[in-house]
Amino acid sequence: MNNTFHYTSPLGGITLSSDSETLTGLWFDGQKYFPHKLISESTEAELPIFTETVKWLDIYFSGKEPGFTPPISLHTTPFRKAVYDILLTIPYGQTMTYGEIANIIANQQGAEHMSAQAVGSAVGHNPVSIIIPCHRVVGADGSLTGYAGGLDKKTALLKLEKYEI
């Protein structure tokens, strides 16, 4: 059973999804890769996981680092999970490049090289935006590239974290 909850953020509507125990999704409404079918087949509910996630979002949008992460379950490939685990290590207010993430994955897998483009695809399909901070990933030259929620939102999130753009 999949459940949803709607949150109104300073940057627009956000849809949360849960398996009743853990957070399984967080998307800006209408963003690229928004799971319309999943959402249409879900039931709106008020659950403890949504209460905890709303608390996290309220702290975050107040300009502070929340200091905790709600329980998350990801139903994805091992490669994408490895990328998301790295995203969770990027400190609040800092960034990492797609290439740096690719190098970490290559080292973890004992490979000489990993495609930054493959990392970019995984980052773009992140099902738990903001909490798994895909907005903190930048191009090799530090430029703001790609964000499924839109570059305007990526810019706003980084500014909220006081990152110098």
**Any idea which residues carry the catalytic annotation?**
134
The interaxial angle of helices 78-87 and 98-109, nearest 10 deg, is 120
Distance between CA 67 and CA 64 in Å, rounded?
Answer: 9
Distance between CA 136 and CA 27 in Å, rounded?
Answer: 16
Sign of CA dihedral 49, 125, 84, 140: negative
Distance between CA 69 and CA 23 in Å, rounded?
Answer: 10
E strand or H helix at 119, and its extent? helix 116-124
CA distances from 32 to 16, 28, 94, 111, 129 (A): 15, 9, 24, 31, 12
